[in-house]
Structure 1
Amino acid sequence: MIYRNKTEAYWEPLLTIARDELGIETFDSTGKPSADIRLCRVEDIGRALERAYDFGLLVGHTVTRAESAKEPCA
């Protein structure tokens, strides 16, 4: 699978989570099926998803606060 949005701000944190929790060093395909397929423990996948969810909440909160600070007071 080829990912085209590597310049998105969220890309590096998600790769960091994948690296830390799942041992995945890159999202790029090597072209070798045996190298691109990985077994992961369910608890590791759960932990990675939880971290990604928490990251999304943090970013959403930060963006909301930044937008609120821009609004003029009534």
Structure 2
Amino acid sequence: MICRNKPEAYLQLLMTIARDELGIESFDATGEAGEEFRMCRVEDIGRALERAYDMGLMVGHTVTRAECAQGQRA
């Protein structure tokens, strides 16, 4: 059985990565016509993506271990 967390659970983590790595304070568009453009260094984008990927691996590993432990108890 695969358990899926609500996407909202990850928004705080993604916001933290965006704030730390890219200087983005909100995912809400605040510019004219609801659009905002921001210049980001490629290095910063790469670091943010790597950090998000690493966090995804950790969450996946944690969920898999919990499911295996639960399966062993059953």
TM-score range, shorter chain: 0.7 to 0.9
Q: In structure 2, the residue corresponding to 1:29 is in which secondary structure?
A: coil
- Length, aligned pairs only: 68
Scaled by the length of structure 1, what TM-score is found? 0.81
Segments of 5+ residues of structure 2 without an aligned counterpart are 1-5
Task: Tell me what 1:72 maps to.
Answer: 72
Structure-2 separation of matches of 1:60 and 1:7: 14
Alpha-carbon offset, residue 30 of structure 1? 1.0
**Alignment map for 1:1-74 (pairs within 5 Å):** 8-32=8-32, 36-72=36-72
Q: In structure 2, the residue corresponding to 1:39 is in which secondary structure?
A: coil
Scaled by the length of structure 2, what TM-score is found? 0.81
Structure-2 separation of matches of 1:50 and 1:15: 14
Structure-2 separation of matches of 1:73 and 1:25: 43
